[in-house]
Structure 1
Amino acid sequence: MELGLHALGIGTGAERSVIDAVVVGAERAGFATLWSGEHVVMVDHSASRYPYSDDGQIAIPSTADWIDPLIGLSFAAAATSSIRIATGVLLLPEHNPVVVAKQAATLDKLSAGRLTLGVGIGWSREEFEALGIPFERRGARTKEYVAAMRALWSDDIATFQGEFVAFDSVRVNPKPADGRSIPIVVGGNSDAALRRVAAWGDGWYGFNLDGVVEAAERIAFLDAQCAESGRDRGALRVTVALRDLHTEDAAALADLGVDELVIVDEPPDDPAVVADWVSATAARWAFCANLIA
């Protein structure tokens, strides 16, 4: 089981000097992946329920800086050479999929094939309204956008006809590095999200799960969905972040077949102490399950 770090993009993790220190330190310490999430807009008083907390409220203040993950990860990629970069997650139905396909392929090429595109359908109705995009049927929209992007990545001249996106005989270059299709990991912990993973995802990012018990239950549900659809669950990459993580959880998660455990934390605001913070975070987890090679 590998170890990822979700510490970029928000608050102190949105400062250039802190980003540089985090990513260089994380690569040196042996972290496998740097994760960064997204919200295009935040509102002061949201009626939408945040699905990753018991009270339905997001803990991040609406006034916090929240940088675009693809732009932020481009800085991370430029400062490193081997650590993977991943959106965790990009709210795909809020974007034009042709533009995202080009942006993602550009970042993947410039980073020498290090990008994983984590996508989600979104939960904030107010955010969709601000962008002028229907909140309803966002799951179907996301599925179609993924299919369209994969066509753009694989076909020299691409044509796609769908309900939400259509294009005819277009070229979108560059292609992803080394002729690959960028892995698309699906975020979300609901039954519907895991059905999406089994139906068309390359993996799952289970975020803010309520301990090993919920992780085990969700993975069992994913196993069942894969069996029902004829997919090999072993071919999917399973990544999880726990809400209240303890060192003893690591071995249990590895036994469940988790490929990557993500540590979610906010770095210090002083770049001078970030390297020590990253090293201490890595050291805390390296001993318990040989997480870092």
Structure 2
Amino acid sequence: METFVCDDEHYTLVADQSGQQITLLKNSDTADGEFSLASRFELPQAVTLFKPFSLFGQIFFAGYQPGEAYLNLYQLNDALSAVSKVRSQYVGSGYTMVQPLSYRYDNFIVLYNQASGDVAKYQMQIPAYHGVGMQQTWSDIWAKTWNRFAFFSFGGENFFIKTNLSHEKVNIDHFMDGLDQGSHPVLSEQADNDMLNAQTVVTFQDAKGEAFFAVCSDAGKVIVNRIFPNCEGWDTLCSSDSGAGIRSAVPVVINHKTCLLLAD
């Protein structure tokens, strides 16, 4: 599941098990919290990693299958009913994280391979002709086995939280602003059992710009934390038991309130 905003309306994307059939839901702007079906469409090929992003006022999706070597970019049409492929970029196989990022007027996609530690950043541009241009501007080797990446922003700057199961660490990193720069850790500490046993970690922000992250376990436990403004820690606000195993979670805005949508 993924979310995006188009024309001030909030939408939720749900992919079927094949990774090819996409259901697009419009989030409710009333207190009933119901979703309405906006459209269904099919991708040209199945993907495991699927991320929406906005580029110059248009909605795009980055799609990637770790067993293949190409990252595909798709553009959603104005009716929100179909996509067309606008770029197929060779990046190599095995990446386990794909994340679009923006900073001021620059737009990037970051990829990471938890088996090898390879990480790369590609800048995206829309040239005068049709399509989207991509150019690698930075690469590095990180430690292996980082996962459960969750991105957020403070003051327009990009940050992310990640967990390393092998080293039992949790980091908050800041992605640098330059085209040819990577990230650096703001916080690195021992991961507790909740972080190590999490099924997924998701971030969200409130109207004041404060950042939060929820730790969700496959046993159904949800812990909500508030990140300090200096990103050097967090405090726990609440915890709850959903009563069912959680496989994925996304923050959704319903009736101007941020909620967590959980799926087993």
Normalising by the residue count of structure 1, what TM-score does the alignment of the two structures yield?
A: 0.28
Higher strand proportion (structure 1 or 2): 2
Higher helix proportion (structure 1 or 2): 1
Normalising by the residue count of structure 2, what TM-score does the alignment of the two structures yield?
A: 0.31
